[in-house]
Chain A
């Protein structure tokens, strides 16, 4: 029997050994330190935006990065969460707003996903695009839910147990707590069977179904989950900004969401965190070039995408791997090939490509 004298397989399932949990702790400490170091209202503004957009990007990572659903609706759910939270927290505590944002975005996302359940790929993308156009109209016109013209001012800063987070630092720590929670929940998904099933669904849903993966449940579940992350981010956005209008959730935001994931790296949960930092921070650093800002920013985007096809996280991984190589010069190839194993010997050259 082949394989009887194979090297002993590792003793623990692979999902035990990923290091995201340590990463979440490091990220939480980093956010804490950053919020101590920043010393201007402007700096806090950038920090707050980065934290909120990271959560938004994490949700899109689940929808598009992990489960491959090409959705333009992430910005609309961001807006829906913002309006729903203002509506639900009117005259009440922030927690009501948060609950409202979660419930409303989850229900609307589920209803939408069920309506377009037969649309795949580009058709799904178009449907989500239509959804976000409709959402913008609703934000502007549905005044019972929003406000005249969809513009709401004077949204109170978030509060928790009668403490209001109204300083730049306390708000940064508050938002950082939410990002840490979002990262933790995402890391739990990464370290669970859900991740591999979502990837199988993403890469070939037909084969995944044949193997026994519940593709419909994954499709709906991951979409609702990622959209709900957007809803929570929208709720935080509304309360940290104090002002929202339909223009906050225009198609420009949709493009930024794609940039956050693609620039940061679509293959890792840390990608959107880096991508959000870039999208928030880089344009501000380019203010000195004045009217050429958009031009230079565009060129910078192209340069980053060409230089780091795996996103900014690819650069981090490269540095990490280099550091490791310096510490341990001896590299071990993955599993020696037994000489008596004929199937290892001949890689068939002209293998057929189609099923």
Chain B
């Protein structure tokens, strides 16, 4: 379970995230929506240690320091980015291998001295990476450079990379952005499969039907604050949510 308390991020005088409390329960799939600039991506950046933030984060009851990307990752929180962030010069499988949770014999000692153990561990890591690539349907591209993949495939590669570390929680930042309808459907199916397999999800997206198809609870962010949360159908009727997206009528409804 991921529990974030009073998360705040300030860029100068702008409070991009302004005291957000958020819980993603075990095996829960939470959708997050909000107008552009409402702080969704910044919140994910705060939770994964990419930007400086204040507040508290616990994963499975253990406190995780903010602003420490590796610590967050080790605690079992993986993420994908709004624009797929793959390493173009590395092959697909190398991209996935980067994220393996077993970090033994990855340093200079493994390269120079303990080459035997390094290669043995590498073989295990490698089979896990192949399995992760297979899961998203990219096993046959394992040794192609990531830069050769299409945009949609890079999203899948990123997903495979976040799966290989055996995360407890996956934070997906606009996974459907830039995908066509068929690609979005495939991705939705994949996320539902992962959720059914026990992975907790926090999915940020703009496509309402996509959010509804992959989540059981929706959180709405506006100006860095949570303004509504609950089952999707209820949330869409919330007056504040409607106002956030469409604006308030001058007569005051």
Query: Distance (Å) between the CB of B82 and the closest chain A CB?
Result: 5
Whether a CB of chain A sits under 8 angstroms from the CB of B235 is no
A-contact 0/1 string along B98-128, CB 8 Å cutoff = 1111010111101110010011001100100
Which one of A7, A13, A207 lies within 8 Å of B85 (CB-CB)?
A207
Q: A3-B134, A209-B69, A341-B137 in contact; A193/B50 too (CB < 8 A)?
A: no
User: In the complex, are the beta carbons of A16 and B119 less than 8 A apart?
Assistant: yes
A354: B residues at CB distance < 8 A: 83
Are B141 and A335 in contact (CB-based, < 8 A)? yes
Q: Report whether A14 and B143 are in contact in the complex, using a CB–CB cutoff of 8 Å.
A: yes
CB-CB under 8 A from B179, the residues of chain A are 348
Across chains A and B, the number of contacting residue pairs, with CB separation under 8 Å, is 177
How close is A345's CB to chain B, nearest CB, in angstroms? 7
- Judging by beta carbons under 8 Å apart, are B185 and A342 in contact? yes
Is B21's beta carbon under 8 Å from chain A? Answer: no
Our pick among B141, B148, B165, B178 for the contact of A348 (Cβ within 8 Å) is: B178
Residues of chain B contacted by A351 (CB below 8 angstroms): 83, 151, 178
Which one of B93, B98, B150 lies within 8 Å of A208 (CB-CB)? Answer: B98
Q: Are B115 and A345 in contact (CB under 8 A)?
A: no
Total contacting residues, chain A, CB less than 8 A = 55
Quick one: which of A207, A212, A352 contacts B103, CB cutoff 8 A?
A212
Q: Is the CB of B182 within 8 A of A343?
A: yes
**Contact-residue bracket for chain B:** 35 or more
User: A185 with B93: in contact, given A342-B183, A355-B81 (CB under 8 Å)?
Assistant: no
Which among B73, B106, B142, B151 is the interface contact of A10 at CB below 8 angstroms? B142
- Residues 134-160 of A contacting B (Cβ, < 8 Å): none
Q: Is A4 an interface residue (CB 8 A)?
A: yes
* Complex-state Cα separation, A177 to B151, whole angstroms: 47
A285 proximity list for chain B (CB < 8 A): none
Q: Does any Cβ of A come within 8 Å of B70's Cβ?
A: yes
Q: Which residue in chain B gives the minimum CB-CB distance to A13?
A: B126
Q: Which 9 A-B pairs have the closest CB atoms?
A: A2-B137, A342-B182, A192-B111, A3-B137, A209-B69, A193-B106, A347-B150, A13-B126, A335-B140
A-B contact pairs, 12 of them (CB 8 A): A2-B186, A9-B133, A9-B142, A189-B108, A192-B118, A193-B110, A194-B110, A207-B87, A208-B98, A348-B179, A351-B151, A355-B81
Which residues of A are interface residues toward B (Cβ below 8 A)?
Answer: 1-4, 6-7, 9-10, 12-16, 185, 188-189, 191-194, 196-197, 199-200, 203-204, 206-215, 217, 221, 225, 334-336, 341-348, 351-355
